[in-house]
Structures are given as C-alpha cells and as structure tokens.
Chain A
Amino acid sequence: MSLARRELPPFVDYVVLPAVNVITAFAAAGLVVLAIGENPIEVVKIMIVGALGNAENIGYTLYYTTNFIFTGLSVAVAYHAGLFNIGPEGQSTVAGIGVALVCLAFDGAPWWLVLPFAVAASVIFGAGWALIPAWLQARRGSHIVITTIMFNFLAATLIVYLLVNVMGKAGSMATETRMLTDATRLPFFATLLKPFGIDLGQSPVNPSFLIAIVASVAVWLLVWHTRLGYEIRTVGTNSQAAVYAGIDPARIIIIAMLISGGLSGLLAVNEVMAVQGRLLIDVAQGAGFVGIAVALMGRSHPLGIALAAFLFGILYQGGAELGFDIPKITRDMIVVIQALVILFAGALGNMYRPMLERIFARRPAARAHEAEA
C-alpha cells in the first residue's frame, strides 16, 4: 500500500489529511442540501443547536456517542489486526439477547448488582457471535467481510425468531420482551444527577457512557502498551513477518475478533439495560455501521474514535431535529453524510496525499538537518 511514499510530517499525516478529507465529505453533503433547494448553513445551525443547545440535547448527543464509541472501538481493534469487521451490528444484536436474558433472570434485583453480569453477558454474547467468522478467517481463510455480513443477517433473523416464538412478552403480538423493573434498569444520568441540581431533562445518557470511556482507555492500553497489542498490530501490518517473530496469526486473528465482538456487545448494555429497558428487534439501529465511519475518521485511535463518535452523536441528535424545522431534509441526511465520510475519509483517504506531498514533503536536506539536531 505505502509503496515508495514520500514521507509526510506526522502533523500533516494525522491532522491535516484527515481534516481535508472530512471537510470534503461535508462540502459534498452541503452540495446535496443545495441540490434539494435548502440552505446548508441553516441546516448546520439547526443541527448544532439541536445537538448542543441545552443540557437535555447534549444528554441525547452523548447517548448516541456511547453507542458509536463501542462500535468504533470494535471496528478499530479488528482493523489493527488487519481485519475488516463489518459485523458490529449483528454482534451487538446477539449481545442484546444476552443482556436481556441476564436482566430478565435477575429482574427486581438492584441495578448495580446486575450490571456486572449484564456487562459480562454482553461481552460474551458479542464475542461469541464474532467467533465463527473469526475461526473461518483464521483456519479456513474465508473472507471475514463476507462472513460478518452474513452473520449480521443471521443475527437479525435469530432475534426475530426469539422475540416472536420464545422471549416475546406473554399475551402480546409486539415483538419485544417485557419491560425491566425500574430497580433493575440502569438509571439515566438525568435521574442520578437530579438530587445535585443538574437537569438533563428526558435525555437517556447513562452510566454506560462511562463504560465507553473506560473501554477507550483500555483499548489504547491494549493496542499500544501490551504484548498482545503488539502482536495484533504485527499481524495486521505483515502477518508473514509475524510468523517469523513467533506469533501465530490464526490465534491473534481469533483473539482480536473476540475483543472486537465484545466491544460491539457492550452497546447492548446501553440500549437494552438502560435506554429501552427491554429487548427490541433492532438493538443497534445502524450504530454498527456508524462504527465503520467512526473508526475510519478516528484513524483507529481511541482518542480519534471518541471525537469522531461525538461528531456523529451531534449529527444523529441534530439530524433528529432537522425534520421538524426543514421538512424537506429528513434524518436520512445523516446516512448521506455518513456515506460521504466513509467514502472520502476511507476509500478515497489518500486522494489528497500526492497534493499534500508536493506541499509538505520534507526535502532530504531538511531531514539531514533534523538528524544533526
């Protein structure tokens, strides 16, 4: 990939290039808005006010951010191992089943007692759903992209079957489980912080946001400061070299995918145990795919992912407000922006590289000078 590339200063490589890509994506989105006959500046204004205008709106934005951090980290960890996990959607769906089973089994117990088990269940179920594609990739060489796509669909049919035939609310046609009792359901920050005079309105952001922050730090430690992380990155960079370094790529692929699936699974704690308080058919609501955009935009680094997740949180919350003020622009606009980010920050990520190289490439003299210093 990086064949005979001239070296860019790190600042350009990690800040300028991604920024130019994302700006291109948003400019293209602006053109779409213009084509529909609306004012892009107006749209941006409504979205920002809708996402950050008051404490309640910020609460909603952080709720979306929570999901996107989990799925973004999930895509990133697999990516470091050279794998493209398109399966967070399915992995968090199956994790939702796990969380629902645990919460319904312990229903009535206080939430802080149930939480560790729910977290464990989400990780185990999410990782479990990633295991078969991982194994097929590691041992059979079948492409993980194809298998994770299929496992997304399989998860979708599985959860419909379970909700219709097994776990559904008794005596109801609705495809959902019964509600958790308030004691077991993870409380929102809005409830927890009310005694302290902080008013978050109806917003559903909850302690799983803190789990997302912890997970980000954990992924950072894992990838850059542990032996396993080193092995993951080695396999991702050059799996043949990894073999000579005594690393078993098949083993690392499976471990990386299990971690990736587990991270996706954590989304279910936010959705099932807290926000919805029950298991619905659509656990991830597309957050699994947003994770791809988030990971690409964040350059697979937890800090970048957290920022990108927050940006997408703003887009999702702000986009929800759009439909009220400008009926012609629905929240499908977010999907378009997401697509353009994936296109320009991902697939066309190196489009501007030659141009930037012409501007910023270090001349040999400069490099020699630096070596002296």
Chain B
Amino acid sequence: MTEFFDMIIPVIGSAVRLSIPLLFACFAGLFSERSGVVDIGLEGKMLGAAFAAGAIAYHTGSAWAGLMGAIAVSIMLSLVHGFASITHRGNQIVSGVAINFLASGLTALLGQAWYGEGGRTPQLPDSARFLQIDWPGVASARASLGELGNFYANVISGHSILVYAAFVMVPVTWWVLQRTRFGLRLRAVGENPLAVDTAGISVGRLRYLAVIIAGVLCGFGGTYLAIAQSSEFVRDMTAGKGFIALAALVFAKWRPFAAMATCLLFGFLDAAGSRLQGTPLPWVGQVPVQVFQALPYILTVVLLAGFIGKAIPPKASGVPYTKDR
C-alpha cells in the first residue's frame, strides 16, 4: 500500500500543476460562453499571454509585471474577438480561429525578431518567476505524518501562488454567476439576449465584459505556463491546452465546480500518462501514452454522443445579437 501511495501522491501533485492552465482557460471560456460568445480562441489568448509574460518578466525582472503584461495582451486579443463578434456580429468561430493563428504567428515571429532564439524568450532567473511556495511545517509533516504528510507536502503545499489563485477562482466564479446581479444578467444574456435588452440592459456591454474577463483569466493561464511552470516562453507552448479546456467546458456542461473536476481529471490523465509510460498496468498490460493523450477528447465525444447525459450549451451562444431596426 505504501508503495502505491508513494507512486500516486506525486502523480496527484503533478496532476494539480498540469490542470492549472486548463482551469484558467476553461473558466475564461465559461464566462464568455455563458454570455453567449463562443470562444475557440482560448488557445491563442493563452499563447499570447505566455509570450508577454516571458518577455516582460525578462525585461523588468518582475514576475508580477509579467502577469500584468500577459493580462493586457490577452485582453487585447479578447477585444479583437469582441469587436468582430459583438460589434460587427461576425462569425465567432472564424474570429476565434483568426486569434489562434494570430497569436501563434506573432509570438513566433516577434520572438525570433527580438531574441533570435527560434521563438523562445530568454531564460528567466528565479527572481522573475512565480516560484513554488512551501507551506509551514512541510519537512516535519513529511517526517512524522507518513502518507498524510507526503500528501500535504506534494499536493497541498509546494505550488506557486497562481495555482492557489486558480482554486480560489472556482468558488468565486460560482458565486458571481449564481449569487450576483451581474451573474444573473450574464447568464440571461447567454440564454435570451432579447429579454435582457427589453429590461433596458445593454447586451453588447455585458458581452464585452464577459469577453474581457475571459481575457484576464487566459492571461493568468499563459503566465502560469511561461513563468511559473517553466522559466521561459517556448513557441506554441500551449500545445492544444486551450482546446482541451474547451473540451473540459463542454464535458462540465458549462458549470464551475464540474469544470474544476473535469480539469483535474484531464490533468490527472496527463500526469498518469507520462508516469505510466513503459510501465505495464494490471489486467490491461502496457498502455500506449497516446491513449492517455486521446482520453480527454474521447470522453468528451462520448459525452456529446449523449451516452453520459446531454451537454446543452447556453441557448444563445454563437449567435450575434441584432437589435430590431
């Protein structure tokens, strides 16, 4: 049993770390889509943010400045999305695709032009990063509390501040959506914008707000990737995480706590996949790592097929709102 715990606890710890970018992106998508704006540009916004975080943290030597810069860049991309899909009622999918390519192309191009390292940003010193925080009593807990101490040291303690921020975001999001006037209006505008408009509330303004919140959260996600999880920006470092977050959002049926659980599950699959590489499992034998990579998508498709409940998106999502003339 000890052996099992010794194996599984580090995997859980790494699952938590791997789920953080998914969490931020997923909640960004949650705000946006709950307001009726489909956002497949999460990937691009996180990527742009990661680049900004890496570059600005390098030039200022401050991780916090990196975070602010990342949020600013991510919001700018959000505003492009808003301008196209809210102001000009363009196709939201097309706009999202454009943002993904824009971020992927610009970060690589500017990275090469400015730093000449194949699209990387320069390596950061520890002082310009978000480092892991060791909670009080980690050493003694590990020594005296056995598996519980191990869990405390690996899973509860030892993450950067952004990880804890991500988990604070979950109940806050739930509270905002379910218990505030803004949240009610946000949900209403995603289900029935005409009703909101009739009540004298600006549909466009609400949707812009939602899209900006999505930008802020993607900014956190990108920052985490570039200057907390690693110490530099690497080209295309989001590697599809924005899309897995999108899958998680669908899987969680656009609900905050379910979204957190799904992101943790997908993070766990990722961690387990790399941990189990080359190790045979009981009953099934050796499982190729690709199975773990594919599982989030397979699970979501199975969900979409209606085998585990039905995922119904907000009614007005993807539909531009046109005021009657």
A residues in contact (CB < 8 Å) with B: 1, 3-4, 32, 36-37, 84, 86, 132, 136, 140, 142-143, 145-147, 149-151, 153-154, 157-158, 160-161, 164-165, 289, 292, 296, 328-330, 332-340, 342-343, 346-351
Contact = CB atoms under 8 A, between A and B. Distances in A.
B91 interface: yes
Query: A interface, by DSSP: helix, strand, loop or mixed?
Result: helix
A37 B108 CA distance: 16
B98 A153 contact: no
Contacts of B294: 153-154, 157-158
Given A140-B306, A142-B304, A160 B88 contact: no
Query: B interface, by DSSP: helix, strand, loop or mixed?
Result: helix
Nearest to B110: A36
B7 interface: no
A142 B301 CA distance: 9
A32 B301 contact: no
Contacts of A161: 288, 290-291
B84 to A, nearest CB: 4
Contacts of A343: 80, 84, 95, 98-99, 102
B101 A86 contact: no
A160 B292 CA distance: 13
Contacts of A160: 290
Nearest to A160: B290
B27 interface: no
Nearest to B95: A347
Contacts of A336: 101-102, 105-106, 109
B189 to A, nearest CB: 19
7 contacts: A142-B304, A153-B294, A160-B290, A161-B290, A164-B290, A165-B288, A343-B80
A150 B106 CA distance: 25
A348 B84 contact: yes
A32 B94 CA distance: 21
B36 interface: no
A303 B105 CA distance: 28
Given A142-B305, A154-B297, A157-B290, A328 B113 contact: yes
Contacts of B291: 161
Given A150-B247, A348-B90, 10 more contacts: A36-B109, A36-B113, A143-B318, A145-B40, A147-B301, A164-B290, A339-B98, A342-B97, A347-B90, A347-B98
Interface in B176-214: none
Nearest to A296: B94
B105 A342 contact: no
B230 interface: no
Nearest to A4: B325
A334 B240 CA distance: 20
A284 B139 CA distance: 51
Nearest to B298: A154
A337 B97 CA distance: 13
A150 B301 contact: yes
A74 to B, nearest CB: 15
Contacts of A142: 304-305, 311
Interface in B306-322: 306, 311, 313, 318, 320, 322
A150 B300 contact: yes
Contacts of A1: 89, 320
